[in-house]
Amino acid sequence: MDRLQIDGGARLDGTVRISGAKNSALPILAATLLADGPVTIANLPHLHDITTMIELLGCLGVEVVIDEKLAVEVHPETLRDVVAPYDLVKTMRASFLVLGPLLARHGRAEVSLPGGCAIGPRPVDLHLKGLAAMGADIEVEGGYVKARSAGRLQGANIFMDVVTVTGTEHLMMAAALADGVTVIENAAREPEVVDLAECLTAMGAVISGAGTDTITIEGVERLESASHRVMPDRVETATYLLAGAATRGRVRVVETQPDLLDAVLVKLRDAGAAIATGDDWVELDMEGRRARAVSLRTAPYPGFPTDVQAQFLALNAVADGISRVTETIFENRFMHVQEINRMGARVVLEGNSVAIIEGVDRLTAAPVMATDLRASFSLVIAALAAEGQTIIDRIYHMDRGYECIEEKLAGLGARVRRLP
C-alpha cells in the first residue's frame, strides 16, 4: 500500500496545470450510454476512479478506445449487457449513475447498490424515487436495483427533497430520452451539472436551466455521436492554491476556470493572499507572509465547496488567529482532524459539524493516515507546512481524485516522493 513522504518547510513556488474534473468526467462517461453512436470525451483525468468507470463500461460490452490525443472514444452501440456488478460498483458510488442511462436507452437495467448502501435516508433513494416518477418499475433484490420500463420513460415534475448533485445528474440523463418534458426542481447548481448538460446538448438533448435550481429537459427520440471536453477541476485548483498559501509561497494554476472559484478566492483574499486571475489562470502570492485565520461555512454551489473544507482547515491550522469551520453538507467530514492534531495542530470539534481552530506558527512532522479523498490532501498541505519529514499512509484515497500528485508538487518545489 503506497505512502507519501514529504519533507516540509519549503515554500511552494511555480506553475501547475489543472486536470479535468473527476466529478464531471464520471457522469459524462455514464451519459455516453445514452447515445446510438461513438462519443469522444477529452481532458479526462488519469485517475483510478476514471479507470473503474471505463472498466464498468467494458463489463457492459461497451468498446472504449483511446485516440492519438489521449481522448477516450466510447462506442455504446456495442453494449451487450445491462447488469452492473457489485465488484465494480462497490468501489465507487458514481458507478451507480449507469442505471438511468441504461434504463432510458434499453428499457431495463440491473445495477448493484453502491457500497452496500442501505435504501432510506441515503441520497440514492432520491434517484430511485425520481426514476419511479418517470414510470420505471423498480425493485431492490439481493443488493441490486432492478429497473424496467414499459416503453420509454415518461416526462415528470420532480422535486428533490435534498439538493443532490449526483441525483440531479442521474435524473437529467434519464429524462433526455423520456417521452415528454421533465422538470427537476430544487436541482443542484454545481458547474459539473452544467458540464454534463453541455455534453448531453452536444449529443442532441434539449435542456434548459442547468446552473439554476430548476432544470427542464425535453425528451428526444435519440441521442447521437458527439465530442466533449471535460471542464477543469475546480477542487484541484483550490487545493494547490491552498497548498501555496499554507507554505507562504506563490502558486500559479493554469488551464482552469477562475469564475468557478469565487467563494474560495474571497476567503483566500481574506487570509491575506494576493490573488490575480486571467481567462484560464489564477495566481496566489503570500509574499512570504503567514496567512490570517478565516472562518467559513460550507454550502451548495455557489457557496463554499465542501470538497475544499478539509484543505482550508489545514491552512487555518498554521494561520494567525482563531477560526471556525462549519460543515453543512456531509456528516463525519472531520475525520482528518485527529490526524492533523498529531502534527501539533490545535483543532477542537463541536459535534460533527463544527471545528474550532487555533492557528500555530509551525506544525511538526508525524506519521499520519489518510481517511478519505479530500482529507488526504489536507494532510499533504499540513506536511508541506510542517517541520521535518512526514509519512502519509493509505494514499490510495488521494489517487482517486488527484492526478500526478508527486510530479505536480515537485514542480512547485516540494520535496516529496512515493514509497511502497
Cell numbers describing residue 55: 472498466
CA gap 331, 133 in Å, rounded:
28
Q: Which residue has the higher pLDDT, 413 or 67?
A: 413
Q: What is the pLDDT, as a whole number, of residue 120?
A: 37
Q: Beta 322-326 vs 354-358: how paired, if at all?
A: antiparallel
Beta-carbon contacts of 252 under 8 Å, excluding residues fewer than 6 positions away, are 14, 15, 16, 281, 282, 283, 284
pLDDT band per the 50, 70, 90 thresholds, residue 115: low
**pLDDT tens-digit readout, 24-70:** 999 999 999 999 999 999 999 999 889 999 999 999 999 999 887 77
pLDDT given for residue 145 in this prediction: 94
Length of the chain: 420
Per-residue pLDDT, averaged over 261-279, amounts to 98
Dihedral sign computed on CA atoms, order 19, 21, 25, 26: positive
- How far is the C-alpha of 371 from the C-alpha of 386, rounded, in Å? 19
Q: Looking at residues 391-401, what average pLDDT do you find?
A: 90
The Cα–Cα gap between 32 and 62 comes to 10
- pLDDT score, position 116: 38
Which pLDDT does position 92 carry in this prediction?
A: 83
Nearest CA among 286, 338, 289, 288 for reference residue 313: 338
Joined grid coordinates for residue 416: 516529496
Identify which of 181, 173, 166 has the alpha carbon closest to the alpha carbon of residue 200: 173
The CA-based diameter of the chain, rounded to the nearest angstrom, is 65
Span 108-123, mean pLDDT? 66
Whether the bond between 302 and the residue before it is cis, its omega within 30 degrees of 0, is yes
Per-residue model confidence (pLDDT) at position 60:
97
Are 274 and 315 a contacting pair, CB within 8 Å?
no
Task: State yes or no: pLDDT of 332 exceeds 90.
Answer: no
Q: Is 303's pLDDT higher than 70?
A: yes
Q: Under a CB-based contact definition with an 8 Å cutoff, are residues 64 and 75 in contact?
A: yes
pLDDT in tens, 364-385: 999 999 988 777 899 999 999 9
pLDDT at 150: 92
Strands laid side by side in the 274-277 sheet = 13-17, 250-254, 281-285, 274-277
With 70 as the cut, is the pLDDT of residue 227 above it?
Answer: yes
Q: What local confidence, expressed as pLDDT, does residue 1 receive?
A: 72
Looking at the DSSP assignment, which residues form a beta bridge with residue 356? Answer: 324, 348
State the pLDDT at residue 68: 73
Q: What's the distance, Cα to Cα, between the start and end of the chain in Å? A: 6
Contact 380, 394 (CB under 8 A): no
Handedness of CA 409, 49, 236, 304 (dihedral sign): negative
Please report the pLDDT score of residue 251 as a whole number: 98
Give 118's pLDDT tier (boundaries 50, 70, 90): very low
Predicted structure pTM score: 0.95
Mean predicted lDDT score pLDDT of the chain? 94
**pLDDT tens, position by position, 61-77:** 999 998 877 799 999 99
Residues with a known catalytic role: 117
Q: What is the pLDDT of residue 399?
A: 87
Please report the pLDDT score of residue 69 as a whole number.
73
Assess whether pLDDT exceeds 90 at residue 122.
no
The torsion region of residue 321 among left (phi > 0), alpha (psi -120 to 50) and beta comes to left
Q: Mean of the pLDDT values across residues 86-108?
A: 92
Using an 8 Å Cβ cutoff, are 398 and 14 in contact?
A: no
The pLDDT value recorded for residue 123 is 65
Label residue 209 by pLDDT band (50, 70, 90): very high
Q: Look at residue 377 in the predicted model and tell me its pLDDT.
A: 94
Split at pLDDT 50, 70, 90, the class of 119 is very low
Distance CA 420, CA 403 (A): 18
- The residue ranking higher by pLDDT, 238 or 87, is 238
User: Which residue, chain included where needed, has cell 511555480?
Assistant: 14
When pLDDT is averaged across residues 202-226 and rounded to a whole number, the result is 98
User: Helix 309-317 and helix 373-385: axis angle, to 10°?
Assistant: 20
Give per-residue pLDDT as tens, 169-200. Answer: 999 999 999 999 999 999 999 999 999 999 99
What CA–CA distances, in Å, run from 363 to 13, 67, 388, 409? 20, 46, 9, 19
H or E stretch at 3: strand 3-7
Instruction: Considering only residues 131 and 120, tell me which one the structure prediction assigns the higher pLDDT.
Output: 131
Inter-residue contact 194 to 208 (CB < 8 Å): no
The candidate with the shortest Cα–Cα distance to 243, out of 64, 101, 376, is 376
Among 12, 115, 85, 124, residue whose Cα is nearest residue 416: 12
Query: Using CA atoms, how far apart are residues 105 and 128, in angstroms rounded to an integer?
Result: 17
